Chains A and B, each alone.
Chain A
């Protein structure tokens, strides 16, 4: 009497997407509408009171977005998801649901530079304090936790060097302290690694990267693992206490193991407003259908390029956990046996100036501030994404002055190598 569990490749194409009931359209339509007609006032009251499932207003939900959400929940092995305008919006809404002014959270310092800015600077205005810890040392998180700590945050593969986090060890630290573990899984994608299977409670993504995969749409998502007991303590009143604006309902009690995703939608997204555009949701959905094929090709190409760079005379070092002698390789094999992702860094012997000459000398590889495109992308973090950080912060984030970050695309691998070689010759 048990239910057959579909494989990842099947979920990537089918999860969440029934044929359109009105037209039979097999591809999920772009529901380019702001609002939805009610049957009568009682139907409207049921929707506003969270007593019926359905659409009210596209700032809160949209049918194209909903298919994207269900698909990501399925791919990550979560109970529910909420898609939003960007990965930054996802982080904002997750922490808004967990934190009040005066609270803190502990984050790995090995993060995307944009997240370091968001956590360290903008969140100060809300009275939210970030406490930095070392992703390579799970014990460094425990020492930062006090009675106002609300969560632990890490990246699965940390940007920009692709360091693999020991998620199960961090989950133990978090759970021993009664806290949820939030994992940004943007760099790995659920094709390579599903953090909830290793103990994470909440997964966030920038959909802009590998999930969308084609560099055309901004998006973010929050996936609820359905694993955390929000009512076990008094730390999370948005979930465990009656909500005045919804007639006194308690969201965790009412929605059970998908209560966190609902709280993010009906409190965070409703009131803060960073909704995803239906068109972007559509384009990202199309991208996800080929995620398993693309992601494997990204990994295979990245390994070929990393091996090539390892022997190059202009290159000081290559940091890619897919290389067998990388200190992180054992963790990679445990967490992500299919590959180490597309993004890695290498150091140029010529330092900062060589980095600038290299990125400016490339012909096919694009110099821009993104990762996870079909195209191979390059950036010199010290002069761009990590420019606002101090030298010390850059080193700590793996983005020192001689560092170049590549996001390897799915082009012909010898073509990628040829372009890199000609630019290295000028660097």
Chain B
């Protein structure tokens, strides 16, 4: 798997197939990117479980926070890693101990650890690194263009409308 470039169909396929996401490193601080991303994913209909030992027992965005992946109340389709690259091997150990395994492990912008990715892929897990699911969702749906950001997507097809004003989905 080439982790320097992903094609749009690959990323769209992931975001259109996963429903339940554990966010490792979710912050309770409303000014932090991990809070923004979790809020956006919830607004797009995903079930989000925040994981943060410092906030365990509290709520973030109205969801209970779990101390570790082992404490999650249900299997998840994807683990979104909001930790520095040096923390990834430890998170990988915790992911590989999950039962069942998640289908996807997604590491945020600037987070990349090729050795861990190889361990996860060996177990059949799809790995995305150095990307943000919020940015990718907004890019592939076309929402990101509303704020002048280059989506790098050209399309003559109808945008996928979600309920309410100003909410696109990703075309299937």
Q: Which residues of A contact B (CB under 8 A)?
A: 1-3, 6, 10-11, 14-16, 18-19, 21, 24, 26, 36-39, 43, 46, 49-55, 61, 63, 65-67, 69-70, 73-74, 78-83, 242, 246-250, 253-254, 256, 258, 261-262, 265
Q: Which residues of B contact A (CB under 8 A)?
A: 1-2, 5-8, 10, 29-31, 33, 36, 39-40, 43, 109, 132, 135, 138, 142-152, 154-159, 161, 164-166, 168
CB distance from B155 to the nearest CB of A (A): 5
Nearest A residue to B164 by beta-carbon distance? A39
From A21, which residue of chain B is reached at the shortest CB distance? Answer: B159
Our pick among A18, A67, A250 for the contact of B155 (Cβ within 8 Å) is A18
Contact at A81–B168, with CB atoms within 8 Å? no
* Closest CB in chain A relative to B114 CB, distance in Å: 16
CB atoms of B157 and A18 under 8 A apart: yes
Is the beta-carbon distance between A63 and B156 smaller than 8 angstroms?
no
User: B-side binding surface: helix, strand, loop or mixed?
Assistant: loop
Residues of A near B2 (CB, < 8 A) are 1-2
A249 in contact with B31 given A1-B10, A36-B165, A55-B166 (CB within 8 Å)? yes
Q: Which of A21, A39, A242, A256 contacts B31 (CB 8 A)?
A: A242
Give the residue of A39, A69, A81, A254 whose beta carbon is less than 8 angstroms from that of B36: A254
Q: Please name the residue on chain B nearest to A5 by beta carbon.
A: B152
Q: Which of A14, A38, A52 contacts B40 (CB 8 A)?
A: A52
A423 to chain B, nearest CB (A): 44
Can you list the 10 inter-chain pairs with the closest CB atoms, starting with the nearest?
Answer: A69-B148, A73-B150, A248-B31, A39-B164, A54-B166, A80-B149, A21-B159, A14-B154, A70-B145, A53-B143
| A-B contacts, 20 listed (Cβ < 8 Å) | A3-B5, A19-B156, A21-B158, A24-B158, A39-B165, A46-B39, A49-B30, A50-B36, A51-B36, A53-B143, A53-B144, A69-B145, A70-B145, A70-B148, A78-B150, A80-B147, A80-B148, A80-B150, A82-B148, A253-B33
Specify which of A43, A46, A53, A249 is in contact with B146 (CB 8 Å cutoff). Answer: A53
Q: How far is it, in angstroms, between the C-alpha of A21 and the C-alpha of B168 when the chains are bound?
A: 9
| Given the contacts A21-B158, A247-B31, A248-B31, A70 and B151 also touching, CB distance less than 8 Å | yes
B169 to chain A, nearest CB (A): 11
Q: Is the beta-carbon distance between B138 and A53 smaller than 8 angstroms?
A: yes
Shortest C-beta distance, B107 to chain A (Å), equals 14
Complex Cα gap A212–B149 (Å) = 20
Contact indicator B148/A1 (Cβ below 8 Å):
no
Q: How many Å lie between the Cα of A24 and that of B158 in the bound state?
A: 7
Residues of B within 8 A of A261 (CB): 148-149
Docked complex Cα distance between A81 and B148 (Å): 5
Question: For B132, B143, B151, B168, which residue has the most chain A Cβ atoms within 10 angstroms?
Answer: B151
Identity of the chain B residue whose Cβ is nearest the Cβ of A82 in the assembled complex: B148
Chain B residues near A249 (CB-CB < 8 A)? 31
Question: Other than the known A18-B156, A53-B144, what 19 A-B pairs have Cβ atoms closer than 8 Å?
Answer: A1-B2, A1-B10, A10-B154, A18-B157, A18-B159, A21-B168, A37-B165, A43-B166, A52-B40, A53-B147, A55-B166, A63-B146, A80-B148, A81-B150, A83-B148, A242-B31, A248-B31, A258-B150, A261-B149
Measured CB to CB, the nearest residue on chain A to B168 is A21
From the candidates A3, A26, A53, A66, name the one contacting B152 in the complex (CB within 8 A).
A3
Q: Smallest Cβ distance from A37 to chain B, in angstroms?
A: 6
Q: Which residues of B contact A38 (CB under 8 A)?
A: 165
| A3, B155: Cβ atoms closer than 8 Å | no
Q: Is the CB of A55 within 8 A of B146?
A: yes
Closest Cβ–Cβ distance, residue B76 to chain A (whole Å): 23
Is the Cβ of A74 less than 8 Å from the Cβ of B7?
no
* Complex Cα–Cα for A235 and B152 (A): 31
Across-interface contacts of A78 in B (CB, < 8 A) = 150
Contacts of B168 in A (CB 8 A): 21
How many cross-chain pairs have Cβ atoms below 8 Å apart between A and B? 124
Q: A1-B2, A2-B5, A53-B144 are in contact. Are A19 and B158 (CB under 8 A)?
A: yes
Contacts of B165 in A (CB 8 A): 36-39, 43
Indicate whether A73 sits within 8 Å of B144 (C-beta atoms), given known contacts A3-B7, A253-B33.
no
- Note all chain B residues with C-beta closer than 8 A to A19: 156-159
**Which of B7, B40, B157 has a CB less than 8 Å from the CB of A51?**
B40
- B38: min CB distance to chain A, Å: 10
Contacts of A262 in B (CB 8 A): 147
Question: Which B residues are in CB contact (< 8 Å) with A248?
Answer: 29, 31
Contacts of B143 in A (CB 8 A): 53-54
CB atoms of A61 and B147 under 8 A apart: yes
How many angstroms from the CA of A250 to the CA of B168 in the assembled complex?
26
CB-CB under 8 A from B150, the residues of chain A are: 15, 70, 73-74, 78-81, 258
Q: How far does the alpha carbon of A120 sit from the alpha carbon of B71 in the complex, in Å?
A: 63
Residues of B within 8 A of A3 (CB): 5, 7-8, 152
Docked pose: A157 CA to B43 CA in angstroms? 47
Q: Find chain A residues with CB under 8 A from B142 CB.
A: 18
Most central of A14, A19, A70, A248 by chain B CB within 10 Å: A70
> Closest residue of chain A to B150, judged by CB?
A73
The contact of A256 among B30, B109, B159, by CB within 8 Å, is B109
Say yes or no: A73 contacts B148, CB within 8 Å: yes
**Which residue in chain A gives the minimum CB-CB distance to B149?**
A80
Residues of chain A with a CB closer than 8 A to B154's CB: 6, 10-11, 14-15
The docked-state distance in angstroms from the alpha carbon of A55 to that of B147 is: 8
CA of A70 to CA of B146 in the docked complex: distance in angstroms? 8
Which residues of chain A are within 8 angstroms of B145 by Cβ–Cβ distance? 16, 66-67, 69-70
